[in-house]
Amino acid sequence: MKSALIFALGIAAATALTPVHAQTYQWKDSNGQTVISDTPQQGAGKAARVIGGPMPSVITEKPADKTAEAPKTTAEKDLEFKKRQLEAREKSEKDAKEQKAAADKQDNCERARRNLAALESNQPMARLDEKGERKVMDNSQRQQELERTRQIMTESCK
């Protein structure tokens, strides 16, 4: 019984391995249809691709584009990714700085407008001197402060 089983398995293995040695060819015909055959394509031109066997050593098909770059290595892809990340980070930092500068400029403009309104109201205004004491502004000091406030407004309120 054992020998019959071994014999049957041997026959089955031999039968199963027989198609492995056969080569199958695949190519596109003149109508653009894919052709799969056990014999290679007849005629010159495109080389048939061997299915289930080694790739042909000589390919007679013209390459699509000679200027096309070779596939990039993992290191090159990683370098490009890091470069894109750095550029994106720099751009976001630049945008954040520009937004902060615009917000500061708007804040300075609002403060200058309030200061100008207070100075033009002719109400008594005081300044702190070096000792921290309040001193009321006279007309010349008020005019100087008005000039300075208008200058700030022209720079900040554009």
Q: What is the 3-state secondary structure (H, E, C) of 71-137?
A: CCCHHHHHHHHHHHHHHHHHHHHHHHHHHHHHHHHHHHHHHHHHHHHHHHCCCCCEEECCCCCEEEC
The CA distance from 110 to 156, in Å, is 9
7 lies in some domain = yes
Cβ(33)–Cβ(21) below 8 Å: no
The model's confidence at residue 98, banded by pLDDT at 50, 70 and 90, is very high
> Counting every residue, how long is the chain?
158
Query: Higher model confidence: residue 130 or residue 15?
Result: 130
Q: Say whether pLDDT at 111 is over 70.
A: yes
The model's confidence at residue 60, banded by pLDDT at 50, 70 and 90, is low
Query: Higher model confidence: residue 143 or residue 4?
Result: 143
109 lies in some domain = yes
- pLDDT value at position 10? 80
- pLDDT value at position 45? 46
Residue 62 three-state SS:
coil
The CA distance from 152 to 118, in Å, is 15
- pLDDT value at position 129? 86
Residues 122-156: tens digit of each pLDDT:
888 888 888 888 988 888 988 999 999 999 889 88
- pLDDT value at position 27? 78
Q: Say whether pLDDT at 12 is over 70.
A: yes
> What are the residues whose beta carbons fall under 8 Å from the beta carbon of 48, sequence distance 6 or more?
25, 26, 27, 40, 41, 56
pLDDT above 90 covers a percentage of the chain that reads 30
The model's confidence at residue 44, banded by pLDDT at 50, 70 and 90, is very low
65 lies in some domain = no
- pLDDT value at position 78? 92
147 lies in some domain = yes
User: What's the domain range around 122?
Assistant: 97-156
- Average per-residue pLDDT in the chain? 81
26 lies in some domain = yes
90 lies in some domain = no
146 lies in some domain = yes
Q: Say whether pLDDT at 72 is over 80.
A: yes
19 lies in some domain = yes
Report the number of distinct structural domains present in the chain: 2
